[in-house]
Structure 1
Amino acid sequence: MEHEFWHRRWANNEIGFHEGTVNQYLHQHWPELAENRTGTVLVPLCGKAHDLWWLHDRGHPIIGVELSEIACKDFFEEGDEKAMVKPGEPFTIFRHDDLEIWNGDFFQLVPTDVSHVRLVYDRAALIALPPDMRPKYVEHLTAVTPDQTQILLITLDFEGSPTAPPFNVSDEEVRALYEDDYEIEHVHTQTLARDHPFAKRKGLNGASESVFRLTKR
Structure 2
Amino acid sequence: MTDKQFWTKRWQENRIGFHEGRVNRYLREYWQRLDAPPDQSVFVPLCGKAVDLAWLHERGHRVIGVELSKVACRGFFTDRGIEPTVTETGAFVHYSSDGIELLCGDFIDLTRGHLQGASLFYDRAALIALPEHMRPRYCDHLAEIAGPDARGLLITLDYPQQAFAGPPFAVPDSEVHRHLGRHFAVEALYHAPIQPDDPLRERGLSQATESVFSLSRR
Question: What residue number does 2:118 align with?
Answer: 117
Matches within 5 A, 1:1-217: 1-161=2-162, 162-192=164-194, 195-217=196-218
Separation in 2, partners of 1:87, 1:144: 20
Aligned length: 216
The alpha carbon displacement at 1:71 in A equals 0.3
Tell me how far apart the structure 2 counterparts of residues 2 and 25 of structure 1 sit (CA, whole Å).
27
Deviation at 1:166, TM superposition (A): 0.8
Three-state SS of the structure 2 residue aligned to 1:185 is strand
CA distance in structure 2 between the partners assigned to 1:56 and 1:35 by the alignment = 12
- Greater shift, 79-88 or 61-70, is seen at 79-88
Aligned-pair CA distance for 1:124 = 0.5
In structure 1, list runs of 5 or more residues that go unmatched: none
Shift of 1:152: 0.2
Q: Give the 3-state SS of the residue equivalent to 2:133 in structure 1.
A: coil
2:16 is paired with a residue whose SS is coil
Shift of 1:115: 4.9
Q: Following TM superposition, by how much is the alpha carbon of 1:179 offset from its aligned partner in structure 2, in angstroms? A: 1.4
Aligned residues: percent identity? 42
Contact 1:38–1:58 (CA under 8 A) maintained in structure 2:
no
Deviation at 1:89, TM superposition (A): 2.0
Partner Cα distance (2:54, 2:35) in 1: 16
* CA distance, structure 2, for counterparts of residue 197 and residue 122 of structure 1: 18
In the alignment, the residues of structure 2 paired with residue 7 and residue 47 of structure 1 have an alpha-carbon distance, to the nearest angstrom, of 11
Amino acid at match of 2:109: Q
TM-score (norm 2): 0.94
The CA distance in 2 between the partners of 1:197 and 1:99, in whole Å, is 28
Query: Once the two structures are superposed, what CA deviation does each residue of 1:121-174 show, in whole Å capped at 9, x if it has no partner?
Result: 000000000000000000101111111200100001122334331111111111
Aligned counterparts of 1:150 and 1:131: Cα–Cα separation in 2: 24
Of 20-29 and 163-172, the range deviating more from structure 2? 163-172
Residue ranges of structure 2 left out of the alignment (5+ in a row): none
Aligned-residue Cα RMSD (Å) equals 1.4
**Letter of the 2:101 counterpart:** E
